[in-house]
Structure 1
Amino acid sequence: MPAPASRLAGLQKQVWSGSIPLDIRLATADCRSYDDSDPYLVQLPRLSYLPFVLARLHAFFKDSLIHPDVAPNEAWLSFEGVPLKWHYPVGLLYDLFSGAEPIKLDVLPEDAPPDSGSPSSPLPWRLIVHFSDYPGDQLIQLDAEGRALLDSYINTVKEADFIRNGTARTVMSLSKDDSDNLWRAVQIHDLRLFNTVNNKLLNPPGLELRHVPVKVYLPTSATHSASDTIAEDAQPSGHIRVVQALVPLFLATRQPQTLGTALNGILPTIFPSRRNPLLAQPVLHGAVVPMSANMEELGKAAAYADGFLHIAVVMLG
């Protein structure tokens, strides 16, 4: 039985209210003083992107920089030596690299704020901002106008639209105002404005939704232990393997697709059971998602702003 619209709207509102406190320090190699500079503290929405704060970081640390004339778009952020991909949403980066224990939804107090976590949660998340030695072998260079980030976002939205409908006609036919409003909603984190456009993508006239856009992120431990992954050459520190597959809304039996059936189909070695997470947990927005969760409902209410369910795999034991 489909969930009522009010329930899906409530879940989406909770997803959009999730945020992560960041403690950002200037890299020693870029600091002109012997002592560490003061940290830049900021609370970023989980659905936001790190490049949105680069100009503020540059202004904050400018007086401490060895080369203060460096452009803000030359900056990059790292965690424990791992360059963070700027086109990944902040919440996904946190789930992949912070080491935080994901929240168990079945024990979460009612109305607990997103990312309230446990007392051992590594919050605020401490990152390092660098203004030199850009890791061009791992990150694409940002531009001063922000076009690279916008293009990356729009391309992902188009990809999600094509997966849902078998065509990107819906997103390609958006008016310029709708396209501008979609990006503006992400920049200012405005759910109401976002839904004025996103609802058109989820309810395309004359088309029936076919698949749920999903990307599954495997840590190195999962990549090396799963027989259904392909052996790779040595990868840089923090390497994450991304797995995609078409996930229909319904099984061949016409039963609704669940997260458990989807993961069992995509990664049967890591998720041998459709009902229970025996070897690994699927984490979305900082929480362990029940294997029984309906994929169509997740796609409508719990997707990131680019239209994808970005699911981090956390190995057990």
Structure 2
Amino acid sequence: MAGERIAHLQSKIWSGSLPLEIRLAASDCRTYDESDPYLVQYPRLSYLAFLLPRLHTFFAPWLINPEVPSYEAWLSFEDVPLKWHYPTGLLYDLYSGAEPINFDGRQEREAVVLSHSTVATMGGAVSTPWRLTLHYTEFPSGQLIPLDADDKTMRDTFTNAMKEADFVRNGTARTAMSLSKEDSDKLWQAVRSHDRALFNEINTKLLYPPGLGLRHVPLKVYLPTSASQTTSETIPEEGKTTGHLRVVQALVPLQTSTRQPQTLGTALNSTLPTIFPSRRNPLLAQPVLHGAAVPMTANLWELNRAAAYTDGFLHLAVVMLG
């Protein structure tokens, strides 16, 4: 995949967004009728926590306690609390139940992954709003990390994930740890403001550190509970349960044991062979990234360069077939 192709795909992914319809929970609303909904087209790569100040301003007239700080709010979908440190697009792919976009062979050759925002231009149906609920009480402390007024929790969580991805790539987090304060601030500003150019200015330093050779591709796979229960013997020790999901992470080298470039299919087959028994075809489950079913033949490192989330990881949702 040439540099221009990677840049093109990254541009498509950064343009991806989701229509959200957010309503105030009845237990926090002071009127008998529902409050007006907050409607927004929101970037897939961004985080829902960044919306809280705007949501608080909008819903203030309906709040039973308008003095409650905006950072004490939390969002849910069908009674499932949504984790702040998961990107919005990943949360949508995991919980919305929406069918992933599938491409025919020609489109697969032209584009490895595309976002929901491009579907309309390709003749696909426009997705309906994802309906979420905003809460200010009964915080699910066992499932969510409390936020703070200064965004320190969100920034620290993102920074830790970015350092983890750096360690996976190079066997050391030295590059991430040695970022100057100016570069660290720029990276966080780019994530908050969804600024691709500013992000790439700093991210390039992380992807291509001088004097370090790439070792592994940062990859996390999210399995629905039913899938993880049926494949418990094949899941690495790194896997951990979170809510109704199991997160599987393994060290995936750039090449296979036969020194061939690692593809998504070979990586999934080696990590989860029961769910992905074939290296080329999704027989039992489909890997989904940014709302699209990803070809198993995609080069994994090129996929990471083009389609990783801002923390450096490929976050793959798994949709069981049949």
The answer to whether TM tops 0.5 is: yes
Which residue of 2 is the match for residue 228 of structure 1?
234
Which residue of 2 is the match for residue 290 of structure 1?
295
Out of 169, 173, 182, the position equivalent to 1:177 is 182
Out of 38, 55, 58, the position equivalent to 2:36 is 38
Is 1:63 the counterpart of 2:61 in the alignment? yes
- Give the C-alpha shift of residue 120 in structure 1: 7.9
Aligned 8 A contact 2:114 2:290 in 1: no
Gaps of 5+ in 1: none
- Give the C-alpha shift of residue 316 in structure 1: 0.3
- Equivalent positions of 1:7-156 (< 5 A) are 7-106=5-104, 114-116=115-117, 117=119, 118-119=124-125, 121=127, 123-156=128-161
- Give the C-alpha shift of residue 106 in structure 1: 2.6
Q: Distance in 2 between matches of 1:144 and 1:241?
A: 31
Aligned 8 A contact 2:73 2:136 in 1: yes
The TM-score normalised by the length of structure 2 is: 0.92
Q: Distance in 2 between matches of 1:259 and 1:105?
A: 16
- Give the C-alpha shift of residue 119 in structure 1: 3.6
Tell me the number of residue pairs that the alignment of Structure 1 and Structure 2 aligns. Answer: 310
Is 1:308 the counterpart of 2:321 in the alignment? no
Q: Distance in 2 between matches of 1:35 and 1:223?
A: 41
**1:36 partner amino acid:** E
CA RMSD between the two structures: 2.0
- Give the C-alpha shift of residue 225 in structure 1: 2.2
Gaps of 5+ in 2: none
Q: Distance in 2 between matches of 1:113 and 1:314?
A: 17
Distance 1:16 1:66, change over 3 A: same
Q: Distance in 1 between matches of 2:126 and 2:285?
A: 20
The TM-score normalised by the length of structure 1 is: 0.94
- Give the C-alpha shift of residue 4 in structure 1: 1.0
Question: 1:36-92, CA deviations, whole angstroms, 9 ceiling, x for partnerless residues?
Answer: 000001111111001101011111101101111111011000000000001100000
Q: Distance in 1 between matches of 2:138 and 2:56?
A: 16
**2:213 partner amino acid:** E
Q: Distance in 1 between matches of 2:222 and 2:47?
A: 18
- Secondary structure of 1:133's partner? coil
- Secondary structure of 1:105's partner? coil
